[in-house]
Amino acid sequence: MKKNKFYPLGGTTVFLVDQWAKHYVEKNLKMGEKRKLTEKLELRRIHNPGICLGVFANKPEKVKKLTEAGTGIVTVIQMLTLLGNSNILRKTGITLAAAGAWSNLTDRYHKEKVVDYIGVKTGKEKLDQVTYNLGDFAIGAGGVLWVLGSMFKKGKEL
């Protein structure tokens, strides 16, 4: 069980860094303001009242219930994964996904919307308009790692 101490610490770190970044942009950028970070990255202040890409933006209670359900499911899977005999990819993946889910759920409770702040310049107009937060990246990367980890039995790492 000592090996699993890293995962709650890592997940908590992702959660706290995302919450700090959201607080920073809320205090230092006006709504819709953009600041260039690199050639491909922008810091932005956007509020998303819906789920992914604004789906159900006009139904806040539905969005909150879906976020609660998704976060609950991911958290139960995380607990079972960490207590079970899973490999490092599965444990890391589900921990990242849970941290991102909890960060976005925290926004839903405190602000009734999610604060997004990372813009990626791709050269494709539609994609350039999408804004993310660290929690979104943690959910995406965590899902990919969890699926990859599910392809291997414990001890049979990449």
The three-class DSSP label of residue 9 is helix
Whose tokens are 């819906």? That residue is: 50
Neighbour-count burial for 45-74, b at 16+ CB within 10 Å, e otherwise: bbbbbbbeeeeeeeeeeebbebbeebbeeb
pLDDT 10s digits, 72-122: 999 999 999 999 888 999 999 999 999 999 999 999 999 999 999 999 999
**What is the model's pLDDT at position 2?**
58
The residue with tokens 């230092």 is: 28
Number of other CB atoms surrounding residue 44 within 10 Å: 20
Which DSSP category does 54 fall into? G
Does the structure show a pLDDT above 60 at 25? yes
pLDDT in tens, 33-86: 999 999 999 999 999 998 887 788 889 899 999 999 999 999 999 999 999 888
Sorted by sequence, the CB contacts under 8 Å of residue 123 that are 6+ apart come out as none
pLDDT, averaged across the chain: 92
d(CA 121, CA 124): 8
Distances in Å between the Cα of 132 and the Cα atoms of 7, 36, 81, 100, 156 are 23, 15, 27, 11, 33
CA distance 98 to 8: 10
- Residues 3-22, mean pLDDT to the nearest whole number: 93
Would you place residue 154 in the very low, low, confident or very high pLDDT band (cuts 50, 70, 90)? low
Quote the CA–CA distance of 104 and 74 in Å, as a whole number.
13
